[in-house]
Structure formats: C-alpha cells, structure tokens
Structure 1
Amino acid sequence: MSSPETEAPILPMPPVVVALFLVLIGIEAAFGLATRGLIGGPTAVGWRLEAVQAYSFAPNVIDWMVENHRYPADQLIRFVSYTFIHGSFTHAMFAGVILLAMGKFVSVAMGPVSTLIVYFASAFVGATGYWLILDNPAPLIGAYPAVYGLIGTFTYMLWVRLKQTGGQQARAFTLIGFLVGLQLLFGLLFGGANDWLADILGFATGFALSVPLVNGGWAGLLRKIRRD
C-alpha cells in the first residue's frame, strides 16, 4: 500500500499533452531565436512568414483545390498544421497554457487517443467552418480551435457531473462564456479577424465528440443523465 510520502501530490502531465505542447512551443521558440539572429543565419528572420505561407489554413488555397479537383497532401495538411503556427510568443503561450490545463484533464479522463482525436478533429472542423461560412481570405493560424475543442470536452464532462449532483448545468459553460466574451471585448477594443468562429466551432466539436468517446458512449451518456 502506498503511503502519503510515496504518493505524488500532483498527477504527472500525460505524455501526449507534453508532446503537443513541446511541438507548439518549440516552433515558436525557433521563430523567436531566428528573429533575434541567434539561429539560422540572416535568412531565418523570415521563418515565421514562410511557415504562415506554407502551413497556415489558407482559404484561397482550399478554393483552388476545390476548383481544380486536386488535393495534394502537402496542402491538405493545412487543415491541422495551422494549429502549430502563431503570430507571436504571447499568442502561442496562451494557447499552450490552455492546452496543458485542458489537455491534462481530457487525457486523464479519456486517454491519449481520444485526446488526439478531439484536438485534431476540432482543428479540422474549425478551419472548415472558417472557410465555408466566412468570405475571408486571411489565413487562419493558432491552436485555439483545437484547444477550444478540449474545453468543449471538459465542459461536457462538467455538464454531466452537475446533472448527477443536482447542480445548475449552465455553470458548465462559464469558462467558454468568459473566453468568448473576452475575445469579443478585445475585438471591439483592438479590432481583429473573425477567427473566433473557428474557435466556437472547435468547442462545439469537442463537446459533441465527447458523447461517443467517453466510457459507454451514447448509452453511457443516457445512463449518466437519467441517474438521480
């Protein structure tokens, strides 16, 4: 039997979450060092711009593929690769913090495979909605649609838990409400793109995917909701 002295006070971060975080922050660190001339030589200053051009989700590129019925793999990867490219260190760090917090919860509760499914599916749906709904040629970058998907999974689990305990289920949506409100406020004060739509679609994807991915799937959800 383990003793209090041998038990870890904090659960270790799941490897899949650490891996995603290291890729995200590692790329951003490379951009930062290149901008300061510490790696890559004189041409490295343009690494971030080159990455945006090559790996961002670019609606005009998707339009070209659809019009020409050509879907090369190096362009299709944009549906998920954009989540690892950010506009600045601050932009990346905020995404990284949410990834660590929500990713740990989701991975512990659902496992690493489900975590990856939620992350990349939310990224895909968020980008697709951004392209289909908005007539906006601006490229989409940043992990926010993907990490909002993890928030959606967290919200689902909290929603079910509040149902079980007789709590107010609307409280489960406090976090997403706060984040969306904050985004709208910053948009009004400083302007910005409509990439918040991709974030909301990512959240909805994570919430919806939680139903088949949690233990018991749809039947498990119904049992949990009906339980007093």
Structure 2
Amino acid sequence: MPDQGPPAPVNPLPPFLIALFLVIMGVEAAFTLGARGLVGGPDAVGWRAAAIQDYGFNGEILGWMLEHNAYPAEHLRRLLSYAFIHGSFTHALFAGVLLLAMGKFVSDVFRHWAVLVLFAVSTVVGAVIFGLVAPGRPWLIGAFPGVYGLIGGFTYIMWLRLGQMGTNQVRAFTLIGVLMGLQLVFGLLFGGNATWIADVSGFASGFLASFVLSPGGWSRLRAKLRHD
C-alpha cells in the first residue's frame, strides 16, 4: 500500500462551515467594494442599506405578522437571512472567525447536520425573542445570535465533561460570561443597542437544543425525564 503520510494534527474544517464563512464574507465583500465604487456602479453605494431593508429583521415586522396572523415567505425568510448581512467588514470578519472556531469545536463532537441545525435554530430563536422584547425596534443583522448558539453547544460539551470529571460544572459558563462582560464594557464605553438580547437568546437556545442534538442526547434526555 502507498504511504499515506502521518495523520493530520487536527481535523479539517467541515465543508458546511467553510461554505457559511464564504457566504458571509462574500456578501460583505460585495457591500465593501460597492461602497468604494469598485463594483456595481453608483447604485452599489446603497447595497448594504437596501439589503438591511430587504433581508434584515425588525420587531415591527414580527409585530405585524402576529397582529395580522399572516406569515408571508418574504418576512419569514428574514429570520435566517439577517445572519448574512453585517454592518461593516470588521463585524462580518469577527462573526466569521468565531463561526469557524466554535463550529469546528462543536463539529468534533456533534454530527455535522446537528451543528447546522444548532446554528439555524439559534439564529431563528434569537430573532424571535429580540423582536418580542427589544426596545425601540432596531434592525437585527449579523451572524452573532447563531454563533452564540454554537457557543451554547460548546458550553454544553464542557458542562458534560466537567460533570464526568466530578468538577464544578458552572465553570463551563466561563466563556459566555466573559463575552457578555466584554459586551457590557463596550456598550458602556461606546454605546450599545439591544442586539445583546438576540445573542443571549441564541446562546440559551443553543445550549438547550444541545440536549437533543448531541450524539445520544435524545436518549439521555428521555432517560433523565423518566428517572425524575
């Protein structure tokens, strides 16, 4: 047999994570280049603003759907599409890098389809909770609620491992505590908005969904419910 060489020191990034990252950065590249007049002509300067209007999420939209009991596809798609629209190149880059990092860690334990579902569920739940309770009805854009959902999956994995080791499981929540602390500091220094509601909701939904989406998670959950 031919020599296949030594095994890779780390597992490669799953293709779906790379695809999500490329979509996020591809959309942002179009906005950035368009704003600088490098692509798309004069109309490209307004691409980002138009995309926020067409694909971003807003509490007023959710309120209208609930009030009229009407859920047109053009508004329902916003529950996911807002994750691919960002306010700046830096915003998109940070979201993309965290997506790769957290997604890679969770993918080493969860099935790949489960990670994708985790990201989608957290994105949707983050938007819905934001739309229901966010003051001032600001626009919600960016992949961070879905990324925070992956952080919820990461926290779930660490929570299980610490439990198996007989260590204090509260330590599993250190990362989310640090991130929310940083958000608070930046909000106090530079001004903030209510998008943290979507992030926290994304984290909580990601953590809870992991009880079902993790390998053997549904069986463990049913056994625990029976035991209780």
Task: Please state which band the TM-score falls in when normalised by the shorter chain.
Answer: over 0.9
**Alignment-mate amino acid for residue 81 of structure 1:** S
Q: Name stretches of at least 5 consecutive residues in structure 1 with no aligned partner.
A: none
Q: Which amino acid aligns with 2:123?
A: A
Asked whether the equivalents of residues 135 and 194 of structure 2 are also in contact (C-alpha less than 8 Å), the reply is no
Q: CA RMSD in A?
A: 2.0
Decide whether aligned partners of structure 1 residues 54 and 165 sit closer, same or farther in structure 2, where only a CA change above 3 A counts.
same
Aligned to 1:216: 216
In the TM superposition, 1:194-213 aligns within 5 A as 194-213=194-213
In structure 1, the residue matched to 2:164 is 164
Does the CA-based 8 Å contact 1:103-1:150 persist in structure 2?
yes
- Summarize deviations over 1:60-101 as a string: whole Å, max 9, x none: 122222222321101111111111111001111111111000
| Structure 1: distance between partners of 2:155 and 2:194 | 23
CA distance in 2 between partners of 1:121 and 1:223 (Å): 24
Decide whether the 8 Å contact of 1:14 with 1:108 is kept in 2.
no
Normalising by structure 2, what TM-score? 0.92
The equivalent of 2:105 in structure 1 is 105
Report the identity percentage: 55
Match of 2:92 in 1: 92
Taking structure 1 as the reference length, the TM-score comes to: 0.92
Distance 2:118 2:136 in 1: 25
Pick closer, same or farther for the CA change 1:141–1:67 going to 2, 3 Å.
same
Query: Number of paired residues?
Result: 224
Unaligned ranges ≥5, structure 2: none
- Give the 5 Å matches for 1:178-193: 178-193=178-193
Matches within 5 A, 1:1-228: 5-220=5-220
1:133 is displaced (CA, Å) by 1.7
Partner of 1:110: helix, strand, or coil?
Answer: coil
Helix, strand or coil at the partner of 2:109: helix
